[in-house]
Structure 1
Amino acid sequence: MKKVSDILTRKGSSVVAIDANALVLDALRLMAERNIGSVIVTEDGEYAGLLTERDYARKVILEGRSSDGTTVREIMSTGLPRILPNSSIETCMHIMSDSNIRYLPVFSYDKLCGIISISDVVAETILFHEATIEHLKSYIQS
């Protein structure tokens, strides 16, 4: 069974982070530059939460706030479920579905070691199924 560590091995474990005191506009620019939909939020260099495009849409745009007058801390998501590198992909799918979230921080010994998205989970599942199909084809042909 595929694990979160397989995703991190494939995509890498580096994360893009921004300080909680930064302006939302700066976070949006960072996400646009990196072509990502979320960014880790830090306070004093430690994980504090996650800022997503969904946070921006719901907590800035819909509330009529200003991107250059609102700090990341004001709209970031906190208290997200945490997963371990040895968590199964299936577990991640259940957590994401049940919690209606698209991103999960990955922790090892209380230290952030990556982040996975629903896209990562889908891609890993597809790769697993493709490998299984190829293995079955090879088995049938031999």
Structure 2
Amino acid sequence: MVLNTQRDLETDVSIREIQNEMTVKEAMTKEIFVMNADASVLEVAREMADHNANNIIVLEDGDSVGIITENDIVSKTVVRNILPAEMLARDIMSSPIISIKPSTGIIEAAELMIKSDIRRLAVMEGNVILGMITDRDILSISPGLNTILVNLIEMNRERDFLQETDVERGICQRCGALTDNLTEVDGVPMCEDCREEEGYYD
């Protein structure tokens, strides 16, 4: 009885090689961005926009106490009709930070993401954050990983859909709200409510 096709064998070899040789330290992104826990969510959103970052590490008394992602900002302020300027970073951060050691293999990192239902891990040595590793960092390493990381691919589908649409996310320059429906009016980015108040209708 044939247990594996040639393609399966090649995939198995590829995965084993990666598991044995590639560590989180080699695949992680070293650039990280931080904000204090008492910063407003609006300040956090602007910092993320300025650096084209999709997450921010939250510090309190110099210690890393949480993480904020784009989804945290949208789900905990925008959809609740709360202005980002009226909430603090500590109010919406996810805590504690789920972390992994830099010497850990990337397969183990992927398994931890799936188990924790998250897309990124802080890479830490003791109490020091060295970088971040994301699902896409892992998926970009080898096509063979897709066969065992299908859950990570599924988690990416919703994000990919949003990126392919014409909807633009950003901060309304009139009211300061973070919105998924930002459009420029006379050169000023505005949310849908402000556009209507100004007499502009889509």
What range describes the TM-score normalised by the shorter chain of this pair? 0.7 to 0.9
Q: Are residue 69 (structure 1) and residue 64 (structure 2) matched? A: no
Mapping of 1:45-64 within 5 angstroms?
45-64=62-81
TM-score by length of 2: 0.57
User: Would you say how many aligned residue pairs link Structure 1 and Structure 2?
Assistant: 126
Greater relative contact order (Cα 8 A, min sep 6): structure 1 or 2?
A: 1
Q: Which runs of 5+ in 2 are unaligned?
A: 1-18, 146-202
Partners of 2:33 and 2:57 within 8 A in 1:
yes
Mapping of 1:69-108 within 5 angstroms?
69-108=86-125
Candidates 28, 34, 38, aligned match of 2:45: 28
Pair 44,125 (structure 1): closer, same or farther in 2 beyond 3 Å: farther
Tell me the C-alpha RMSD between the 2 structures.
2.0
Question: Quick one: distance in 2 between partners of 1:69 and 1:109?
Answer: 34
1:46 shift after superposition: 1.5
Candidates 27, 46, 59, aligned match of 1:7: 27
- The equivalent residue for 2:136 is 119
1:61 shift after superposition: 1.6
Partners of 2:57 and 2:66 within 8 A in 1:
yes
1:36 shift after superposition: 1.4
Aligned residue for 2:85, secondary structure, equals coil
Higher mean C-alpha deviation, range 54-63 or range 34-43 = 54-63
Q: Which runs of 5+ in 1 are unaligned?
A: 129-142
Question: Quick one: distance in 2 between partners of 1:124 and 1:80?
Answer: 24
**Superposed structure 1 runs of 4+ greater than 4 Å apart:** none
Question: Quick one: distance in 2 between partners of 1:62 and 1:125?
Answer: 37
Aligned residue for 1:92, secondary structure, equals helix
AA partner of residue 21 (structure 1): D
Task: List per-residue Cα deviations over 1:33-65 (Å, max 9, x = no partner).
Answer: 111110111012221110001111211122221
Candidates 62, 84, 109, aligned match of 2:126: 109
TM-score by length of 1: 0.80
Identity %: 28
Task: List per-residue Cα deviations over 1:58-80 (Å, max 9, x = no partner).
Answer: 11122221111111110000023
Larger Rg: 2
Task: List per-residue Cα deviations over 1:72-110 (Å, max 9, x = no partner).
Answer: 110000023210001111111111122111111111123
Question: Quick one: distance in 2 between partners of 1:78 and 1:29?
Answer: 21
Question: Quick one: distance in 2 between partners of 1:109 and 1:42?
Answer: 16
